[in-house]
């Protein structure tokens, strides 16, 4: 079971302790930040501030070993200044966050944000999005590198464009498996991570039901 897209104010601390001991609840949280600026968070009418968000994810990282924490960040909100944007970059770079899904604000009829007279130019929105995407990829790559040489459990999914079977670890590391033609989707396997390439951690299968079947046949 994976918990995603819930605000930090709705997550009880007891859930973190349960996650740390559970084989059912994955060590992964996706918690929307939206902005690293308290001013923008107030304008968005969020029920938390920057400090509360950071304190919660720091607590989660302390309580749950190997937890991977992701977030959502919006760029180009009408009242977002350059400093507000830099505040968002700072939270992503200098907290336990591993990645961010970056969204560009677009005006919608009937929303409260329409009342703001300020507007962020489209080219500025595009550049801010590009910068945050780059930071997110750097954060994720650094996190994946920490796992090189370690063995993790992975639930397999589809084959990617390079012909490698892919999947996700318990804590949401996206893995591409080499020499795994015998595997199907929705198999639980143990793999050893050997490197990082693009959006994937590369890995070799250590044990799986398919491997065990092959061993019993050959023996």
Q: How buried is residue 150: exposed, middle or buried, by Cβ count under 10 Å (0-12/13-18/19+)? A: middle
If one counts every other C-beta atom within 10 angstroms of the C-beta of residue 151, the result is: 14
pLDDT in tens, 116-163: 777 899 999 999 999 999 999 999 999 999 999 999 999 999 999 999
- Provide the H-helix boundaries in the chain: 13-21, 38-43, 50-63, 82-93, 122-145, 209-218
Check whether residue 141 and residue 171 sit in a common domain. no
Question: Residue 42's domain is classified under what CATH number?
Answer: 3.30.750.200
Domain count, the chain: 2
> For residues 97 and 202, is the Cβ–Cβ distance under 8 A?
no
pLDDT in tens, 24-48: 889 999 999 999 999 999 999 999 9
Check whether residue 68 and residue 135 sit in a common domain. yes
- Residues spanned by the domain of 201: 151-218
Question: Considering the entire predicted model, what is its pTM?
Answer: 0.88
Check whether residue 158 and residue 140 sit in a common domain. no
Check whether residue 39 and residue 132 sit in a common domain. yes
Question: Residue 185's domain is classified under what CATH number?
Answer: 2.40.50.140
């Amino acid at each position: 079971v994976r918990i995603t897209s819930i605000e930090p104010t709705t997550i009880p601390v007891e859930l973190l302790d349960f996650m740390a001991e559970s084989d059912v609840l994955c060590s992964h949280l996706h918690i929307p930040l939206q902005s690293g600026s308290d001013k923008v968070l107030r304008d968005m009418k969020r029920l938390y501030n920057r400090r509360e968000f950071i304190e919660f994810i720091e607590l989660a990282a302390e309580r749950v070993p190997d937890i991977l924490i992701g977030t959502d960040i919006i760029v180009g909100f009408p009242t977002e200044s350059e400093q507000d944007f830099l505040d968002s970059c700072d939270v992503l770079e200098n907290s336990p966050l591993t990645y961010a899904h970056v969204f560009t604000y677009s005006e919608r009829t009937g929303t409260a944000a329409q009342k703001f007279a300020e507007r962020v130019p489209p080219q500025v929105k595009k550049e801010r999005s590009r910068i945050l995407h780059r930071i997110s990829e750097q954060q994720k790559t650094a996190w994946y590198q920490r796992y090189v040489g370690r063995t993790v459990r992975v639930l397999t999914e589809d084959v990617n464009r390079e012909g490698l079977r892919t999947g996700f670890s318990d804590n949401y590391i996206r893995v591409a498996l080499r020499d795994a033609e015998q595997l199907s989707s929705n198999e639980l396997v143990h793999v050893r991570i050997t490197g990082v390439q693009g959006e994937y951690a590369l890995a070799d299968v250590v044990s799986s039901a398919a491997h065990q079947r092959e061993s019993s046949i050959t023996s």
